Structure 1
Amino acid sequence: MPGEPPERGTASPAPPTASETAPGTSASSPAESGGDGGKGNEILRWLIGAVANATVLTALLVYFGWQRNDVQSQELGFDESILGMSTRDYVLRSVWPVLVLLLTIAIGGMVWLQWDDRLVRRIRAGGRDDRVVRWTLRVLPFAWLILPGAVWIVGYVWRAAAYVAFPFSIGAGVLLLVYAIQLRGMLPGASEPPPGRVPLLRAFAAIIVGVSLFWGASDYATIQGYAMADRFAAGIRNLTQVVVYSPKRLYLTAPGVTETTLTDEKAAYRYRYTGLRLNLHTGGHYVLVSDGWTPRHGVVMLIADDDPVRLEFVRDR
């Protein structure tokens, strides 16, 4: 189902309000603020301000990176914490996937702007008598239920896509509900909301949208983590080959590792280990696996930067 990950083979600061006006403009002049159209776009400006917040973006990048690495590590059979990855590592490894999410949000916002422009013109021209306006105001208040329901149904066909889209559909549905309330306020003869109602509405919507954003990013990171684990298991031979030289015996007994004792007693290094592959370098140590690594029986080895060993990285085609 959309709320569950696809089956495997074995088992901040408060968002800026839209009422803030740019320098040199007047909030009390409908003509200068775009009239009803400007009012209808308040929800979109508020959303952009929240998503573009540097603190929110950084938190999203770090959380995405941690979740993806945690899922991959569990699939590979070890705990993510042994990697010792820093916040910088999480951020740098998460930039491209999160940019895809933000690009999707931006495209959705552009489509929303086009629809809003046409809808506002219809409201000005015909008000409730316009059939498109009438049906839009009937359907949008239930978007918080319609969108997740539609994604849930799609999940029976495209499970992975629905698993990622389900949280975002909840946030989008809440935004459309707030948008519908603003559109109703643009109709001729519409009464002003009670004092304090709009800030509370935006605050509650911000909480739901924020949770949906991180929930969706978590699901996307989970899918990415599974995919990375699958690629890792299938591409061990494509990783960089590593030869380890050590003055003392290291007793590396992973499957596929060969230990060779060097005969020159005056050599600085007496033992050589081959059959190793570089997984990554992070947290001040090298993470190595062996040629014989398998999902059922695999060993992960850590060699610190300051260990008295010599590493040779070999291009192995």
Structure 2
Amino acid sequence: MTTESTPPVSARVRQVAEALGPATLATALLIYFGYVATRARYEYFGVPVDLTGRSNQDMMLDGLEVVFVPAAMLFLGLLAIVAIHSTVLWLLARDRPDERDGTSDVTAFAAYGFVLVGVLLIARALIGIFVQGPEASVIIGATPFSLAFGPAAVAYGVWIAGQRRGRPLLSQRLARNGAMGVIALLVAGLVWASTQLAWAYGTGRGEEDAAGLEDRPEVVVETREPLDDLPRGVTASRLGTAGEEARAYRHRYRGFRLLLASGGRLFLVTPEWRRGRDATIVLPYEDVRVRLVP
């Protein structure tokens, strides 16, 4: 009689962790980028994202819109890195120590070039961090990309020089610690750049929303109590008392456009809404009656 052997608990936990790890990381990134984009989008209208009551599922769906451009840039960057590395390997194979003529040392030029470019990028990253600051109006991605690829370029130049000499320039321990630092800065820079891109994407969506408010359905709002400080473009009328329902909702307002309905609230604007001039009206569902006009 044979019995089926089952893997130990630690092995099963490791298998589950390996299966859930990439999916969990991808979900977390989608929620994070969706949060950043949504925050920028509705902050354009002066609405804090925490007030909208958007769920994690909504944030994840919003994040799907954001990740296409960073993903395309990432894969194109990987293709470029593979092409550059293949070229360097070809040059190293051609530039053997016993075949050098001293006139055309392309690999030495490549090593010095990568180190020089890396140092310049590191200087640009330091200027962006300590001189310009995070609130400076600079090109999106300039500082984080410099932080990501500057140390990597220096490390790659040092590696080329070591391969050209036939032995590493650094000890194994220093090389390992340096590689860990370079990878950490690369990941930090890419996440930072993606965050800036997500914020710019959300701001762009807010500008598109503001430009297309005229094409959205009109929201007719009826309330029990009158609304104060009506925005321009909204007309108010008082309903009669002929019916019980009319007595409950005595005030009608026309001219609103629906910006967002979430968290039990209506976020209303007008077709003439302008950033810095007009406000966004927030009304709870339970205190109003709503009609939509195509």
Whether TM exceeds 0.5 here: the answer is yes
Mapping 1:144-183, distance limit 5 Å: 144-147=118-121, 162-183=139-160
For 1:295, the equivalent position in structure 2 comes to 275
- 2: distance between equivalents of 1:191 and 1:213? 28
Kindly provide the CA deviation profile for residues 27-64 of structure 1, in whole angstroms up to 9, marking residues without a partner as x: xxxxxxxxxxxxxxxxxxxxxxxxx9555544443343
- 2: distance between equivalents of 1:139 and 1:180? 7
The alignment-based identity, stated in percent, is 22
Structure 2 regions of 5+ residues with no counterpart?
1-20, 128-135
- Residues 284 and 201 from structure 1, CA distance in 2 versus in 1: closer, same or farther, beyond 3 angstroms? farther
Structure 1 regions of 5+ residues with no counterpart?
1-51, 153-158
Indicate conservation of the 8 Å contact 1:287/1:302, yes or no.
yes
1:276 alignment partner AA: F
1:314 alignment partner AA: V
- 1: distance between equivalents of 2:145 and 2:270? 40
- Residues 173 and 190 from structure 1, CA distance in 2 versus in 1: closer, same or farther, beyond 3 angstroms? same
Indicate conservation of the 8 Å contact 1:185/1:191, yes or no.
yes
For 2:253, the equivalent position in structure 1 comes to 273
- Residues 96 and 80 from structure 1, CA distance in 2 versus in 1: closer, same or farther, beyond 3 angstroms? closer
2:225 corresponds to which of 229, 242, 249: 249
- Residues 191 and 201 from structure 1, CA distance in 2 versus in 1: closer, same or farther, beyond 3 angstroms? closer
1:207 aligns with 2:184: yes
For 1:104, the equivalent position in structure 2 comes to 73
Indicate conservation of the 8 Å contact 2:161/2:169, yes or no.
no
1:239 aligns with 2:216: yes
2:263 alignment partner AA: G
Question: In terms of Rg, which structure is larger?
Answer: 2
2:82 corresponds to which of 85, 91, 113: 113
- 2: distance between equivalents of 1:81 and 1:242? 23
Shift of 1:120: 0.7
Shift of 1:126: 1.6
Shift of 1:119: 1.7
- Residues 140 and 95 from structure 1, CA distance in 2 versus in 1: closer, same or farther, beyond 3 angstroms? same
Counterpart secondary structure, 2:221: strand
Shift of 1:148: 6.3
2:116 corresponds to which of 142, 148, 160: 142
1:179 alignment partner AA: Y
Indicate conservation of the 8 Å contact 1:73/1:80, yes or no.
yes
Mapping 1:31-110, distance limit 5 Å: 53-110=22-79
* Alignment coverage as a number of residue pairs: 257
Kindly provide the CA deviation profile for residues 253-281 of structure 1, in whole angstroms up to 9, marking residues without a partner as x: 42122233333532424343211111122
- Residues 174 and 222 from structure 1, CA distance in 2 versus in 1: closer, same or farther, beyond 3 angstroms? same
1:133 aligns with 2:113: no
Shift of 1:209: 1.6
Relative to structure 2, which stretch is displaced further, 54-63 or 102-111?
54-63
1:194 corresponds to which of 160, 171, 179: 171
CA RMSD of aligned residues (A): 3.3
Counterpart secondary structure, 2:260: strand
For 1:221, the equivalent position in structure 2 comes to 198
Indicate conservation of the 8 Å contact 1:244/1:273, yes or no.
yes
- 2: distance between equivalents of 1:126 and 1:74? 57
Indicate conservation of the 8 Å contact 1:278/1:288, yes or no.
yes
- Residues 176 and 59 from structure 1, CA distance in 2 versus in 1: closer, same or farther, beyond 3 angstroms? farther
TM-score with structure 2 setting the length: 0.72
Indicate conservation of the 8 Å contact 2:122/2:151, yes or no.
no
Indicate conservation of the 8 Å contact 1:254/1:290, yes or no.
no
- Residues 191 and 203 from structure 1, CA distance in 2 versus in 1: closer, same or farther, beyond 3 angstroms? closer
- 1: distance between equivalents of 2:260 and 2:182? 41
Indicate conservation of the 8 Å contact 1:285/1:302, yes or no.
yes
Shift of 1:308: 5.0
- 1: distance between equivalents of 2:117 and 2:65? 30
- 2: distance between equivalents of 1:292 and 1:96? 27
1:167 alignment partner AA: P
